[in-house]
Structure 1
Amino acid sequence: MSLASVRRFLDEHAPDIDLIELDTSTATVPLAAAAHGVAPGQIAKTLSLRIGERVVLVVTPGDRRLDNKKMKAALGGKPRFLEADDVARLTGHPVGGVCPFGLATPLPVLCDVALQAYDVVLPAAGDIHSAIRIAPQRMADLTGAQWVDVCAEPVAAESS
């Protein structure tokens, strides 16, 4: 159902965007980056968060973590990740396939400004085997997203 809701959303709002479906899982940033042949930062991960009583989706580059101080300043509270059951119920998407498109419940979408460093990003598209290629600004426009600065600098790769 989740992939179908994203497909319906794209058919209605962005029929020129193709849904990419793969045989391999793209449920994590490393898996998605390898499968699509892009830098981890180009994987636009969608985080489902609760701040007080508010639930929001925050889309960030795959190589970045949330900065709690920036989140508190931007949204007025400390974020807490939703439980997997709440994620599926509110978004209609499973963890690993969450995206800001075709949501089961209207939710505010926030996009971290660091996404603007890329011409194209790849958010999931409703399940762990799908994604789309999209310009960050177009993603924000399609989802009514607000641009925020809530991420820390990229995490350096660990040396072996």
Structure 2
Amino acid sequence: MAVEDVKAYFSTYGMEDRVIEFEVSSATVELAAQALNCAPERIAKTLSFHLKKADQAILVVTAGDAKIDNAKFKQAFSERALMIKPDEVEEKIGHPIGGVCPFAIKEGVAVYLDESLKRFDTVFPACGGPKSAIELTISELEEYAKSNSWVDVCKGWE
């Protein structure tokens, strides 16, 4: 199970006890915000894309209120945003829809963090399942997600 993989990942840092598991779904930004009793924008949503030129899956972690801006995405990655099909996400990333996160992912998947996250002290990404999360500072997210870089590919949050 993906949540157990994420807990095992965080156990190497002595942080597995920080993973929160809910009785209710946290599979969407709105549901996660309700489960955590926080503002939706503090949910760090992880979106899965396929870069055709590099034949590579990538993750972009954004603030809960941010939306992908196609022009910015194309400028950052030199191609248009092409989300991975829902029935292929778990196979290509390692986590099911509703639990996709940048931790304990398949080898070769690159992670990028969007600038929309930098306005918060802490955010809540999922932890591999649709009833899980962890609270991380932005520097912790950057470190544990092993992000390639920061990107500016979103709109609607400014």
TM-score band (shorter)?
over 0.9
Give runs of ≥4 in structure 1 deviating > 2 Å. Answer: 13-17
Match of 2:146 in 1: 144
Indicate the RMSD between aligned Cα atoms, in angstroms: 1.5
- Residue in structure 2 matching 1:79, options 55, 78, 81: 81
Number of residue pairs matched by the alignment: 155
State the alpha-carbon separation in 2 of the partners of residues 106 and 4 from structure 1.
20
Q: Are residue 154 (structure 1) and residue 157 (structure 2) matched? A: yes
Match of 1:24 in 2: 24
For 1:8, the aligned partner's letter is A
Unaligned runs of 5+ in 1: 156-160
Counterpart contact for 1:13–1:142, Cα < 8 Å = no
TM-score (norm 1): 0.91
Cα distance, 1:59 vs structure 2:
0.2
State the alpha-carbon separation in 2 of the partners of residues 76 and 13 from structure 1.
35
State the alpha-carbon separation in 2 of the partners of residues 100 and 110 from structure 1.
9
1:84–1:105 distance in 2 versus 1, CA, 3 Å: farther
TM-score (norm 2): 0.92
State the alpha-carbon separation in 1 of the partners of residues 71 and 17 from structure 2.
35
State the alpha-carbon separation in 2 of the partners of residues 13 and 85 from structure 1.
32
Unaligned runs of 5+ in 2: none
Identity rate, percent: 37
Match of 1:13 in 2: 13
The CA deviation string for residues 43-90 of structure 1, in whole angstroms up to 9 with x for no partner, is 000000012223110000111100011000011110111112321012
For 1:3, the aligned partner's letter is V
State the alpha-carbon separation in 1 of the partners of residues 40 and 34 from structure 2.
8
State the alpha-carbon separation in 2 of the partners of residues 45 and 76 from structure 1.
22
Match of 1:48 in 2: 48
Cα distance, 1:16 vs structure 2:
6.7
Q: Are residue 93 (structure 1) and residue 90 (structure 2) matched? A: no
Cα distance, 1:142 vs structure 2:
1.6
Question: In proportion to residue count, which structure has more strand?
Answer: 2
Q: Are residue 104 (structure 1) and residue 99 (structure 2) matched? A: no
Q: Classify the secondary structure of the residue corresponding to 2:136.
A: coil
